[in-house]
């Protein structure tokens, strides 16, 4: 059974595990979209800590198997990253994390972006009621699709 819990990244085990899952998850996305220029794929632990995001982790027992990170204002919740250990894909972990985050949004608009060719992520967001607001070329040849949930 997956357990969700708030996570505070640090320079110890939790930070290292978050970074490892993040790198593994974004390596999968890089393969799907055919481009490895995804910034979180190349982050160091210091970069992850400096991002100043709020984190929610998914645990299988004591093992971190996924997480979602976001920033927020009184009117907006912006999902910055959703990561799932590639060995744990297709088990509903990403869905559980985003569903919990939507409940925490308390009616605020929620935004997220993913690689234009990342069909699994796009399908997840669309099934959860997100609406595409368009595609954007963030750097030459790297396209993302933006989504919003009201």
Q: Which residues of the chain have pLDDT under 70?
A: none
> What end-to-end distance do the CA atoms of the chain give, in Å?
30
Quote the pLDDT of residue 89: 96
Quote the pLDDT of residue 88: 97
Sheet strands side by side (includes 76-84): 2-7, 54-60, 63-72, 76-84, 109-115, 142-149, 131-139
Helices (H) and strands (E) in the chain, counts: 4, 7
* C-alpha atoms less than 13 angstroms from C-alpha of 16 in its C-beta half-sphere: 3
Share of the chain above pLDDT 90, in %: 99
Quote the pLDDT of residue 112: 98
Q: What is the DSSP string of 119-133?
A: HHHHHHHHHTT-EEE
Has this prediction a pTM greater than 0.85? yes
Residue length of the chain: 150
């Amino acid at each position: 059974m997956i357990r969700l819990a708030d996570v505070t990244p640090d320079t110890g085990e939790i930070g290292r595990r978050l970074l490892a899952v993040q790198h593994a998850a974004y390596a999968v996305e890089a393969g799907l979209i055919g481009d490895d220029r995804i910034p979180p794929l190349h982050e160091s632990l210091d970069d992850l800590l400096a991002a100043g995001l709020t984190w929610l982790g998914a645990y299988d027992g004591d093992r971190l198997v996924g997480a979602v990170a976001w920033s927020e204002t009184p009117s907006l919740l912006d999902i910055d990253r959703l990561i799932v250990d590639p060995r744990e894909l297709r088990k509903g972990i990403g869905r559980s994390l985003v569903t919990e985050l939507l409940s925490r949004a308390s009616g605020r608009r929620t935004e997220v972006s993913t690689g234009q060719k990342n069909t699994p992520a796009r399908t997840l967001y669309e099934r959860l009621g997100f609406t595409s607001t368009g595609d954007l070329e963030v750097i030459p040849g790297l396209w993302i699709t933006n989504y919003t949930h009201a």
